[in-house]
Structure 1
């Protein structure tokens, strides 16, 4: 059986309301100890380890048509932050974290890629690595020289490339042709 309970407090008491219809017919029973409350009904059991001690002799409970109201007399006038005392946290030893040297991992990955790449793929990887590790000025020179020369020149020298348009220089034994318009 699913039963809800709620609580409120004053300076001298804590009142717990257990929503339970026809509690008398369900044979409810309440047992109050200094730091614990235990209530049972036909198919219901509630056990609460109390945050602070109570004066058992001054505590009471009463059944109504839709609920059971349990009044606990506070031992001291302390405000309760919660009703229940939480179990003490258990300390667990965590394994020591190892720091990773990300630069070393990247370097190892690049070496693996270099070994796997052959021919044109190896050359493209080399250009990618040069481009990604270069200054913005070198990247600008590479972009300008490659695009203006139709892919026949790749320069990293901005002082040279930045002065004028890069001319097409096809490899020996080949000729450059414009696409027909």
Structure 2
């Protein structure tokens, strides 16, 4: 059975933006079909969604893009009026529009924070996280060695061995092919 998709929307005077929560969208071969009065999103392993829009849109000026945790569909309004809802559905008296359009922003915010916490850092951020972890888990001598070596070398050396760096000044050692210049 295919999983269902969570989505939300917001609008400006000229656009309606639909945010579809879909982790690793590119890897799931997602596709978006934009028509003047509807939008359809499909992806591997999920149940496709089709939205009959509240009002007509300009299909040629509309677009979509994927990020690591969502697909954002930006629709250009044909007429700059405020939409009462995203979908063209009749609202009955037993279902007031305030209830229909209520969003628990605290829950949405916590869900996004949880997703971001689960994502593994990459590149420079991963290296910084590694150094933070080494420093926080280290004993006092190791911390002193890290601070002293980094400071005295102008950021070119990072040592965790206090016996090596404690009794002498740490020399500047720029990478091969680079020259260290002291700024006055």
TM, length-normalised to structure 2: 0.47
Q: Answer with 1 or 2: which has the greater Rg.
A: 1
TM-score where L is the length of structure 1: 0.47
